[in-house]
């Protein structure tokens, strides 16, 4: 009997998509720091959102994805060819290349589909493979051919902008690859290269979002050439390499569609003689469309050129070596981008990093600029006639509706608490279940919906409040950044004040917990309630009289504090320093070209972050007592941006994440020479425990680790995957009902020995003892991802044989050991690989082509034979080693060093070949299937021919199937894990109800 729940019924819809959405085939979160720096530096009104790991195809094609709902921003796809061959399995090199080539063709089709159906720009960035891969000439040549194919297929697609590895040359990073972090968390690049990547993306986004400059106006003496022609004559001026490079650069700009003009205080004929007589000049008079060579102020001359060309001053770039002339231009023509030329040695670098010279695409239409000029004039006229900000806001006809949420709005409320960062007073993240629990606890929730004459913004704000003595207290106050600065936040505060007055409450208490992103929230409170500010341990509290809060008014000119006010605010509470605001666009461009071309400098800027004090925790502060503890405490403080961390403080209570754990363990390996898996933080989440592991004074390898504490309801036990990891369950643990403790079961191991069992029944028997030490009697709630599902199934069998009830066996994309795989998958890949020899564009006669095909076929056959021989030899050697490993364990003898590198994965794969359960499980199982992923995230439904993955024959009851968004690994990541948690929790609730009421039927779940 099979029950299936359609995926469409449980997928969450994305009602609000941040403006920059990024998907990648590798872990991309480290790029956020540099990208966020540039968003702020450039005053771009864009937020940043990163899609789940390795979800490129889903983001492009899934109508519920971030990409598909990003209506005003930019979608970015980052990929590496190498990522499509990470898990080689039994594939030959030819098989792998066939897969990579097929993936590329699939990506090209997906890109074309997505971009064609979208109104926003997409950036597709091909990132460099590792040096090891590129050192293989055959692979390097293969990738070059694929890159050429990519450019050929997509270069002409409107709305799509390609970034190839060559473009990284303007931000060179010698040591760009990080093998250690790549292995730990598929983070393939160094922080410096991620800075280069974020800078390159920001530069591309800025070019997309900025109005293009169309005219370059050049000074002559000491700008186009070295010397003064009026004094030194035509033959006396010089053309050194730097000035020649400048002229060559300007010719390239002209060929890309820019208009070149001259503006020089000179005798006109002298300048014309230079162009006519100096044949060593790359720039010719034919490249110049107009000039003003006279003794008038240069600002006046540029105005004359603008009138002549029918262009606005904001489309002009003026370049001069003279600071006085540049100052005059900036004073009298501030709309003109004025650039002062640096010294000769810096000219080429300077020009390379003036972002105004970037061109997204160069087409024939770009060079036919007349229509663009006319459009620009209309734009300028509209800007001059624009209303004041107050008039504009008055004309919006803004409508603000504040009410209690309806049941179907709870999902959106939870989503806003999870994703709103900038205007969020407390940044408390809530699930749907938690919001409902708050309502049961007596707190009230209000939602804010906004519309204006241009359209409906939807649900953009949330307030959750309670009462305390004679005050209305705020738990959550947040507003989407897309409606900030329009008085909505003021209306929200007034609404709360009136609620307090209606209940005869005298005060409105507003907490603010500062983060590195919620400075707009602080600025707002400073502007309306600065007189009522109080310091708290973890931030600030504004205690406003209700009548004062009810009388708040919105004045557009006063909504944002001045820079002086911001500085004063920062003395009261530690907040992220603001990046210096540019006084003009000329200064901004020059700052980028003269300072922010240096990646080390940019990286240093991104690392200027908020440093907060230790938050209030359940345990007292205990200072480090050893050198190891002091080193770890300093490392934690640097990574978590928290001062005064105690050695008994829990990493996760301090805000640590699994992504940050990759950096933590990379630093530990570099500092102490000790390698640890990420799951170490589950068993040793404090500095004190980590220090004992590093110094070797404690093994701390208990198989039962607490993932999340809970109440008195039966605990949930999640069994490690095939790599021995339990960290992957942490998101799921925190999404389940808090009444359940959630334990991770990790391999029984010791130093240099990854696992002390080589048979699945032996693993299960040991885990049963550990589980029963925590929960002596059932019902037991079990689950596991992939290999963990198989082990969980065996644990369930053994518990039943001991007379204990099992309420749940959750199989998370787990297949039975004898599940049939899809027929011909390997053969199909190899056939595709072989077929490529017939598709080569060879300009050969028939006989030569036949000989070419024969030689290629022979080489592929040799490659396949070599691979088969090598892979069988490797498997035989590994089998022998595991057998020796088993003998040592069975006999209780020491494990020799040559067996220390045997991994949990190797042991499990060997144990799986022997595992054949002799009796079925008496009951039902819950099968959670991933539905979409690629590469190492490929879901099992793409691998196995049986949709039940072989489990139906192993049980006497029902296989209840639920499809979960995401791939094999990403189904456990946000936001997909929320769907999984809801399914599992519903199953648990009904299983426990069935246990208490034997008449109920679990099969009806």
Give residue-wise pLDDT tens across range 31-56. Answer: 988 998 999 888 888 888 888 788 88
Highest mean pLDDT among 36-40, 123-127, 649-653 belongs to 123-127
The answer to which of 171-185, 548-562, 590-604, 846-860 has the lowest mean pLDDT is 548-562
pLDDT at 581: 39
pLDDT at 469: 86
pTM of the model: 0.61
Find out whether 317 and 216 touch, Cβ atoms under 8 Å: yes
Name the more confident of 368 and 136: 136
Task: Kindly report the backbone phi and psi dihedral angles of residue 622, in degrees, each rounded to the nearest multiple of 5, phi listed first.
Answer: -125, 120
In the predicted structure, residue 352 carries a pLDDT above the cut 90: yes
Helix (H) or strand (E) segment spanning residue 719: strand 713-719
pLDDT at 836: 60
Name the more confident of 474 and 657: 474
Of all residues in the chain, the percent with pLDDT exceeding 90 is 39
Task: Kindly report the backbone phi and psi dihedral angles of residue 613, in degrees, each rounded to the nearest multiple of 5, phi listed first.
Answer: -85, 165
The answer to which of 12-26, 353-367, 793-807, 880-894 has the lowest mean pLDDT is 12-26
In the predicted structure, residue 831 carries a pLDDT above the cut 80: no
Q: How far apart are CA 111 and CA 61, in angstroms?
A: 9
Instruction: List, in order, residues 6 or more apart from 560 with CB less than 8 Å away.
Output: 485, 523, 527
pLDDT at 362: 66
Beta strands in 341-484 (DSSP E): 399-403, 444-452, 455-468, 471-479
In the predicted structure, residue 845 carries a pLDDT above the cut 80: no
In the predicted structure, residue 565 carries a pLDDT above the cut 50: no
Nearest to 235 by CA among 223, 246, 227: 227
Burial class (CB in 10 A: 0-12, 13-18, 19+), 909: middle
Burial class (CB in 10 A: 0-12, 13-18, 19+), 659: middle
User: Strand pairing partners for 454?
Assistant: none
Give residue-wise pLDDT tens across range 471-491. Answer: 999 999 999 765 777 789 999
When pLDDT is averaged across residues 625-641 and rounded to a whole number, the result is: 88
Q: How far apart are CA 655 and CA 334, in angstroms?
A: 46
Find out whether 662 and 187 touch, Cβ atoms under 8 Å: yes
pLDDT band at 390 (very low <50, low <70, confident <90, very high): low
Of all residues in the chain, the percent with pLDDT exceeding 70 is 84
When pLDDT is averaged across residues 142-152 and rounded to a whole number, the result is: 91
Find out whether 811 and 925 touch, Cβ atoms under 8 Å: yes
In the predicted structure, residue 957 carries a pLDDT above the cut 80: yes
Question: Average model confidence (pLDDT) for the chain?
Answer: 82
Beta strands in 379-529 (DSSP E): 399-403, 444-452, 455-468, 471-479, 507-512
Give residue-wise pLDDT tens across range 275-333. Answer: 999 999 999 988 888 899 999 889 999 999 988 876 789 889 999 998 888 888 988 99
Helix (H) or strand (E) segment spanning residue 855: helix 846-891
pLDDT band at 2 (very low <50, low <70, confident <90, very high): very low
Q: How far apart are CA 641 and CA 405, in angstroms?
A: 36
In the predicted structure, residue 110 carries a pLDDT above the cut 70: yes
pLDDT band at 566 (very low <50, low <70, confident <90, very high): very low
Task: Kindly report the backbone phi and psi dihedral angles of residue 445, in degrees, each rounded to the nearest multiple of 5, phi listed first.
Answer: -115, 135
Q: How far apart are CA 907 and CA 891, in angstroms?
A: 17
DSSP-assigned letters across all residues of 644-713: S--TT--TTTTT--HHHHHHHHHHHHHHH-----TTHHHH--SHHHHHHHHHTS-----SEEEEE---SE
Find out whether 632 and 676 touch, Cβ atoms under 8 Å: no
Find out whether 758 and 888 touch, Cβ atoms under 8 Å: no
* Region of 576 on the Ramachandran plot (φ > 0 left; ψ -120 to 50 alpha; else beta): beta
Highest mean pLDDT among 121-130, 553-562, 742-751 belongs to 121-130
Instruction: List, in order, residues 6 or more apart from 114 with CB less than 8 Å away.
Output: 60, 61, 67, 68, 75, 122
- 942-981 b/e with 16+ CB inside 10 Å = b? eebebebbbbbebbeebbbbbbbbbbbbbbbbebbbbbbb
pLDDT at 19: 77
Find out whether 910 and 784 touch, Cβ atoms under 8 Å: no
Instruction: List, in order, residues 6 or more apart from 924 with CB less than 8 Å away.
Output: 809, 955, 957, 958, 959, 960, 1002, 1003, 1005
pLDDT at 380: 39
pLDDT at 370: 30
Task: Kindly report the backbone phi and psi dihedral angles of residue 576, in degrees, each rounded to the nearest multiple of 5, phi listed first.
Answer: -65, 130
CA separation (Å) from 573 to 453, 514, 527, 613, 836? 39, 8, 16, 10, 64
- List the alpha helices (DSSP H) in 696-778: 730-735, 760-774
* Region of 559 on the Ramachandran plot (φ > 0 left; ψ -120 to 50 alpha; else beta): alpha
Give residue-wise pLDDT tens across range 49-87. Answer: 888 788 888 888 888 888 888 878 899 999 999 988 876
Nearest to 76 by CA among 67, 68, 84, 85: 67
DSSP-assigned letters across all residues of 190-221: -HHHHHHHHHHHHHHHHHHHSPPP-EEEE--B
Name the more confident of 411 and 999: 411
Name the more confident of 572 and 511: 511
Distance of CA 736 to the CA centre of its chain: 25
| Sign, CA torsion 905/910/912/915 | negative
pLDDT band at 867 (very low <50, low <70, confident <90, very high): low
Give residue-wise pLDDT tens across range 705-757. Answer: 888 889 899 999 999 998 888 888 988 999 999 999 999 999 988 777 888 99
Q: How far apart are CA 292 and CA 299, in angstroms?
A: 11
Beta strands in 790-899 (DSSP E): 806-812
pLDDT at 657: 79
When pLDDT is averaged across residues 99-121 and rounded to a whole number, the result is: 86
């Amino acid at each position: 009997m099979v029950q299936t729940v359609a995926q469409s019924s449980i997928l969450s819809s994305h009602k609000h998509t941040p403006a920059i959405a990024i998907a990648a085939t590798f872990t991309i979160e480290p790029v956020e720091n540099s990208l966020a720096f540039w968003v702020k530096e450039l005053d771009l009104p864009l937020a940043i959102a990163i899609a789940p790991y390795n979800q490129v195809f889903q983001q492009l094609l899934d109508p519920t994805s971030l990409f598909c709902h990003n209506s005003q921003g930019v979608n970015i796809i980052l990929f590496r060819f190498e990522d499509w061959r990470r898990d080689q399995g039994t594939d030959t090199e030819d098989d792998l290349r066939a897969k990579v080539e097929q993936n590329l063709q699939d990506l090209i089709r997906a890109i074309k589909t997505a971009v064609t159906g979208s109104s926003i720009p997409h950036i597709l960035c091909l990132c460099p493979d590792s040096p090891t891969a590129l050192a293989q000439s055959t692979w390097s040549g293969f990738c070059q051919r694929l890159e050429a194919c990519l450019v050929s297929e997509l270069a002409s697609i409107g709305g799509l902008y390609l970034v190839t590895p060559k473009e990284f040359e303007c931000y060179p990073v010698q040591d760009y690859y990080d093998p250690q972090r790549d292995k730990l968390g598929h983070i393939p690049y160094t922080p410096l290269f991620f800075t280069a990547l974020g800078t390159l993306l920001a530069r591309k986004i800025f070019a997309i979002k900025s109005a293009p400059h169309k005219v370059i106006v050049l000074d002559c003496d000491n700008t186009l050439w070295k010397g003064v022609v009026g004094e030194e004559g035509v033959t006396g001026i010089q053309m050194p390499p730097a000035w020649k490079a400048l002229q060559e650069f300007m010719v390239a700009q002209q060929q890309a569609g820019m208009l070149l003009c001259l503006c020089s205080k000179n005798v006109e004929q002298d300048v014309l003689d230079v162009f006519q007589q100096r044949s060593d000049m790359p720039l010719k008079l034919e490249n110049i469309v107009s000039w003003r060579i006279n003794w008038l102020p240069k600002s006046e001359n540029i105005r004359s050129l603008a009138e002549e060309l029918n262009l606005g001053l904001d489309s002009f770039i003026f370049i001069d070596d003279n600071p006085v002339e540049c100052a005059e231009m900036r004073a009298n023509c501030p709309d003109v981008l004025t650039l002062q030329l640096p010294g000769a040695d810096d000219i080429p670098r300077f020009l390379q990093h003036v972002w105004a010279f970037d061109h997204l695409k160069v087409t024939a239409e770009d060079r036919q600029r007349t229509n663009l000029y006319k459009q620009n004039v209309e734009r300028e006229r509209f800007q001059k006639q624009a209303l004041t900000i107050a008039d504009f806001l008055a004309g919006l006809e803004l409508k603000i509706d504040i009410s209690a949420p309806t049941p179907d709005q709870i999902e959106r409320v939870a989503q806003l608490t999870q994703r709103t960062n900038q205007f969020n007073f407390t940044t408390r993240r809530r699930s749907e279940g938690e919001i409902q629990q708050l309502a049961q606890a007596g707190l009230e929730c209000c939602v804010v919906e906004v519309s204006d004459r241009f359209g409906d913004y939807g649900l953009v704000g949330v307030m959750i409040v309670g009462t305390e003595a004679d005050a209305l207290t705020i738990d959550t106050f947040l507003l989407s950044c897309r409606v900030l600065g329009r008085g909505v936040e003021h209306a929200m505060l007034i609404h709360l004040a009136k609620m307090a007055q209606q209940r005869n409450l005298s005060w409105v208490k507003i907490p603010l917990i500062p983060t590195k992103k919620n400075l707009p929230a602080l600025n707002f409170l400073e502007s309306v309630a600065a007189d009522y500010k109080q310091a708290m341990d973890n931030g600030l509290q504004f205690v406003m009289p209700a009548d004062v809060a009810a009388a708040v008014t919105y004045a557009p000119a006063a909504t944002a504090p001045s820079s002086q006010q911001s500085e004063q605010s920062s003395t009261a509470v530690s907040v992220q320093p603001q990046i210096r605001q540019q006084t003009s666009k000329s200064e901004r461009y020059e700052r980028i070209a003269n300072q922010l071309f240096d990646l080390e400098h940019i990286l240093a800027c991104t690392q200027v972050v908020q440093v907060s004090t230790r938050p209030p925790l359940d345990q007292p502060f205990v200072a480090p007592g050893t050198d190891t503890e002091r080193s770890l405490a300093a490392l934690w403080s640097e990574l978590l941006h928290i001062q005064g961390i105690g050695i008994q403080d829990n990493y996760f209570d301090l805000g640590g994440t699994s992504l940050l754990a990759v950096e933590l363990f990379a630093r530990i390996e570099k500092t102490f020479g000790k390698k640890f898996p990420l799951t170490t933080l589950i068993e040793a989440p404090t500095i004190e425990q980590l220090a004992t592991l590093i110094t070797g004074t404690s093994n701390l390898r208990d198989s039962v680790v607490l993932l999340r504490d809970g109440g008195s309801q039966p605990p949930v036990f999640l069994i490690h995957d095939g790599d021995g990891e339990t960290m992957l369950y942490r998101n799921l643990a925190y999404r389940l009902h808090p009444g359940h403790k959630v334990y991770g079961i990790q391999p029984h191991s010791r130093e240099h020995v990854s696992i002390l069992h080589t048979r699945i029944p032996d693993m299960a028997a040991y885990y049963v003892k550990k589980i029963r030490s925590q929960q002596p009697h059932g019902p037991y709630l079990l689950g596991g991802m992939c290999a963990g599902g198989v082990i969980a199934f065996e644990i369930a069998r053994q518990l039943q044989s001991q007379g204990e009830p099992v309420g749940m066996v959750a199989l998370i994309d787990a297949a039975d050991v004898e599940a049939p795989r899809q027929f011909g998958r390997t053969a199909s890949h190899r056939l595709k690989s072989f077929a490529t020899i017939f598709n080569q564009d060879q300009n050969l006669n028939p006989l030569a082509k036949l000989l070419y095909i024969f030689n290629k076929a022979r080489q592929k056959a040799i490659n396949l034979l070599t691979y088969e021989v090598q892979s069988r030899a490797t498997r035989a050697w590994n089998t022998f080693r595991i057998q020796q490993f088993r003998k040592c364990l069975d006999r209780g003898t020491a494990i020799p060093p040559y067996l220390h590198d045997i991994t949990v994965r190797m042991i499990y794969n060997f144990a799986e070949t022997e595992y054949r359960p002799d009796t079925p499980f008496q009951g039902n199982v819950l099968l959670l299937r991933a539905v979409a992923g690629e590469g190492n995230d490929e879901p099992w439904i793409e691998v196995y021919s049986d949709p039940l993955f072989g489990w139906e024959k192993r049980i006497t009851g029902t296989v209840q199937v639920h499809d979960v968004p995401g791939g094999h690994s990403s189904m456990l990541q946000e936001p997909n894990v929320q769907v999984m948690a809801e399914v599992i929790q519903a199953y648990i609730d009904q299983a426990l109800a069935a246990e208490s009421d034997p008449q109920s039927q679990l099969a009806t779940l």
